Structure 1
């Protein structure tokens, strides 16, 4: 059994892939049975999608909290410590609680799985489900890890499912077409339970429509069942049977307006009626760390970890900083298609800098740089030293964007906060 948080996280972090070789979700279901089925004691909203899950979940949380609900949230990845993944009304799970529930999982693994541990993500999901059940919350918001159909979070039956976007990511696990990936994400759609969808790719949408029809699940599609009217300065109207006017989300960019609209619809399906002022205030508060997050006037952190995310980042930059010269510092993991994102950045970049995350699965800076044909590219060995030197040197019309893997964003955020930047 774990005695300290350090001992616990050191052990579970190294559980990259399950040693349990049973049927999909079987290990989690055996453990949940041993724990008294905490997943049956909470109401849920389930979020899947290639991009925007976290931002949409966070906006939904703010809206529901603004209407007086006690809201749990399970998100990933964490940026600084594992406790960030499990919150109730934005209060992180304590070390004591985390250890208590982790040790309950360990006992169940020893008793029912012959000591064959599931993955890190599965264990943390099981910790979250116990915590939410024990604290008797009104609703929990769960973000999938990868995919949906076989993701461990899919042991729940949600009141509402949300699918944000579909892009070609994790193709080795989810399939190499929009239709195949959509089929995996659509696995969170449950019989008779409504699904809110922001997906625009037609190939993916066809699969989602078919799945919703097969499950008898009411489908609420952005730009079809509910709409956005975009105004100037990041303001929009939300339009359905009634209109919520002049919403200005804290998160910048058209894609964040889409995420906010999904959050409004998901919240309305839970609450029935929304208070307009509460919605406006909630979305003005709904900031999400590491997503177009500003540190001062000339540094932006954005975990654009695939080509769709990079496209949204660039669109937002050109909307809110149209006259600036863009310097990018990029680091990524090996399991992504970097070339498309790099080509997108090349088109608008004054300079491109590539570095390596201190992780086993990291793509090397040189490999990333070799995919770029930009005239002003550079490999950075020590990104911390680079940031310290580069930031004071930026001219007034220049901005530095740190982007790529969210793990990298987490490292940089910690560095900046430790130095009071």
Structure 2
């Protein structure tokens, strides 16, 4: 099989959560453990950092990868889902996994695929771990796919765990309350391994404290360790002045990730770096600051408040749940523009009703559907939106919706694309 035939085989043969939803989620680690045992347990052959959370785990993973790469370490990065190319999921020093490795790995594992019937995600995790082990990375940043406790990535023993935040998402799998969801995410906390919680949330703080205590794992709440003194957006960079909570000199950071929601993530990253420095990782402050100003260039991160045009200002953001859309709308409140155009679509298993309640009613909407089986029909979405006072038109494709928004927008307007990774991917 060539590369495209290999991808076609994976997409058609293996259940893929991003396409079909919960039926692809395996509620145990059996397949991942079995696949990795057949490969000689590659997950034990490199050091790692494990990152979970509802929102922010992707940005946090990329920032940590940028820091390690800038400091001179050979750095693996595993994230999901991808936007344009499957190989975005598995990178070393920002470079995507070679197509030849993908095809040879799948060919090697084909008998196991036919025997075990793993999910797409389970096989991808095994592929990433094998690649990182064979390439002898110094460290790999591993982003959880869904939840934590039963996620396929949860067979590593990391140097450090990071949990960004908890909000309502994937309740059909993770639970209907924040404490239930937090308990699943807390499943990545390991005995004696430090854990950073990026954001203190009163309702679930005790879930993490109790879990960490039961495993004798040192716990750090990042937003209790740092104070943001300055915060402004300038020339596409988020300019921050940040002080240690217990006193010390102010760090001035310039992030090339311009979403205001990155402020929460950056505190988690800084706390993680501080712990890693104490573990004798050579991460000089100068390298940390340089890395954070070039995250996109160092890691290939896309789709986080990404400006792709200035007239009209056109922004792509993969925010897709209640907390993610809340952050987007909050940032819009601080912006000056003539009119807002929102290109949006969702998947069927999201709490779409709650999310639509957050959107600004004064905007013009372009409702569409990504080309995946899991996508919510654009006409159903428009009806749900109308019940919330949101007005617009429906389009049978993302590209049609995006082109219509661009055509109707004045050069002083904003065109925002959000609601799903897949909507953003199709605009790209």
Flag whether TM exceeds 0.5 (same fold): yes
Do the aligned partners of 2:399 and 2:426 also contact (CA within 8 Å) in 1? no
In structure 2, how many angstroms separate the alpha carbons of the residues matched to 1:105 and 1:50? 31
User: 1:132-143 residue pairs with structure 2 within 5 A?
Assistant: 132-143=132-143
Which residue does the alignment assign to 1:152?
Answer: 152
Give the Å deviation of 1:323. 3.6
Q: Deviations over 1:240-272 (max 9, x none)?
A: 364452112111233202212212222332233
Do the aligned partners of 2:243 and 2:250 also contact (CA within 8 Å) in 1? yes
SS in structure 2 opposite 1:377?
A: strand
In structure 1, how many angstroms separate the alpha carbons of the residues matched to 2:400 and 2:172? 35
Q: Which one of 86, 90, 93 corresponds to residue 94 of structure 2?
A: 90
Whether 1:40 aligns to 2:44 is: yes
Q: Which one of 341, 354, 362 corresponds to residue 327 of structure 1?
A: 341
Whether 1:67 aligns to 2:49 is: no
Q: Which one of 75, 85, 99 corresponds to residue 81 of structure 1?
A: 85
The answer for unaligned runs of 5 or more in structure 1 is 414-421
Which residue does the alignment assign to 1:261?
Answer: 267
The answer for unaligned runs of 5 or more in structure 2 is 18-22
Give the Å deviation of 1:46. 0.5
Do the aligned partners of 2:54 and 2:165 also contact (CA within 8 Å) in 1? yes
Do the aligned partners of 1:20 and 1:116 also contact (CA within 8 Å) in 2? no
Total equivalences in the alignment? 405
Q: Deviations over 1:282-336 (max 9, x none)?
A: 11111331111111112111111101000111122223x2344211111111010
In structure 2, how many angstroms separate the alpha carbons of the residues matched to 1:129 and 1:52? 22
SS in structure 1 opposite 2:423?
A: helix
User: 1:368-383 residue pairs with structure 2 within 5 A?
Assistant: 368-373=381-386, 374=389, 376-383=391-398
Give the Å deviation of 1:176. 0.2
Do the aligned partners of 2:367 and 2:401 also contact (CA within 8 Å) in 1? no
Which residue does the alignment assign to 2:412?
Answer: 397
SS in structure 2 opposite 1:332?
A: coil
Give the Å deviation of 1:209. 1.3
Do the aligned partners of 1:149 and 1:188 also contact (CA within 8 Å) in 2? yes
Q: Deviations over 1:33-83 (max 9, x none)?
A: 121110110101001111111111111111111111110000111111111
Whether 1:128 aligns to 2:128 is: yes
Which residue does the alignment assign to 1:416?
Answer: none
In structure 1, how many angstroms separate the alpha carbons of the residues matched to 2:59 and 2:191? 26
Shift in CA distance, 216/332, structure 1 to aligned 2, threshold 3 Å? same
SS in structure 2 opposite 1:151?
A: coil
Do the aligned partners of 1:42 and 1:138 also contact (CA within 8 Å) in 2? yes
Which residue does the alignment assign to 2:318?
Answer: 303
Do the aligned partners of 1:294 and 1:300 also contact (CA within 8 Å) in 2? yes
Which residue does the alignment assign to 2:20?
Answer: none
SS in structure 1 opposite 2:252?
A: strand
Which residue does the alignment assign to 2:353?
Answer: 339
Do the aligned partners of 2:222 and 2:271 also contact (CA within 8 Å) in 1? no
Whether 1:27 aligns to 2:42 is: no
Shift in CA distance, 243/25, structure 1 to aligned 2, threshold 3 Å? farther
In structure 2, how many angstroms separate the alpha carbons of the residues matched to 1:46 and 1:308? 22
Which residue does the alignment assign to 1:419?
Answer: none
Q: Deviations over 1:184-240 (max 9, x none)?
A: 000000001011112333222221111111111111112213343333333223333
Q: Deviations over 1:132-177 (max 9, x none)?
A: 0000111001111110000000011111111011011100100000
Do the aligned partners of 1:20 and 1:118 also contact (CA within 8 Å) in 2? no
CA RMSD after TM alignment = 2.1
Which residue does the alignment assign to 2:165?
Answer: 165
Could you tell which deviates more after superposition, 82-91 or 294-303? 294-303
Shift in CA distance, 397/99, structure 1 to aligned 2, threshold 3 Å? same
Q: Which one of 6, 9, 12 corresponds to residue 10 of structure 2?
A: 12
Do the aligned partners of 1:324 and 1:398 also contact (CA within 8 Å) in 2? yes
Shift in CA distance, 104/225, structure 1 to aligned 2, threshold 3 Å? farther
Which residue does the alignment assign to 1:209?
Answer: 209
SS in structure 2 opposite 1:87?
A: strand
Give the Å deviation of 1:338. 1.1
In structure 2, how many angstroms separate the alpha carbons of the residues matched to 1:232 and 1:102? 47
SS in structure 1 opposite 2:287?
A: helix
In structure 2, how many angstroms separate the alpha carbons of the residues matched to 1:403 and 1:284? 24
